Amino acid sequence: MQDVRKTIKPVEWVGSSFRDFRAFPDAVKDEMGYALHQAQIGGKSLSAKPLQGFGGAGVLEIVTNEMGDTFRAVYTVKFATAIYVLHAFQKKSKSGIKTPAEDMKLIEQRFKAAEADYRLQLEKGKIS
């Protein structure tokens, strides 16, 4: 009989993303935590969308509104063994939905750090 249990990928937090995520309101953490869990088991939450301007569906963002404030968490599913959370932040701008340039630059830097971590794990033989 085939084992139907799904493999759960670990979540790796890049930079200050874990500390920033933990500072979110409880309702936001619950919703985003559920969306990340869906990614861990190979699914995609309805609240997760490809990050615009990043070129492809390998980097996604979860957008949650709570009491008039907007919170975002950006993560990548590009690597086979883990979900890397690249950035978690409260959107400050009240005009437009576009992710601010400074946040996009930080996401890009952290994506490169996640890629380097993944390659290092490959080299050490921790990943087959």
User: What tens digit of pLDDT does each residue of 8-43 get?
Assistant: 999 999 999 999 999 999 999 999 999 999 999 999
Residue 1 — pLDDT band, cuts 50, 70, 90? very low
* pLDDT of 5 above 70: no
Query: Which of the two residues, 1 and 82, has the higher pLDDT score?
Result: 82
Identify the residue with better confidence: 5 or 62.
62
The kind and range of the H/E element at 28 are helix 26-40
Q: What is the CATH number of domain 11-123?
A: 3.30.2310
What is the Cα–Cα distance from 73 to 32, expressed in whole angstroms? 7
Helical H runs in 14-100? 17-22, 26-40
Q: Give me the pLDDT at residue 57, please.
A: 65
Interval 93-126: pLDDT, tens: 655 667 888 899 999 999 999 999 988 888 877 6
User: What does the pLDDT read at residue 60?
Assistant: 95
Distance CA 112, CA 95 (A): 29
Closest CA to 111 of 54, 35, 57: 54
Contact 47, 36 (CB under 8 A): no
Residue 65 has pLDDT above 70, yes or no: yes
What number of other Cβ atoms are within 10 A of residue 89's Cβ? 21
* Predicted pLDDT of residue 95: 57
CA distance 54 to 96: 18
The rounded distance, in Å, linking the Cα atoms of 126 and 114 is 15
**Cβ neighbours for 44, distance < 8 A, ≥ 6 positions apart:** 38, 60
Dist. CA 33–CA 4, nearest whole Å: 23
Question: What average pLDDT does this structure show over 76-101?
Answer: 84
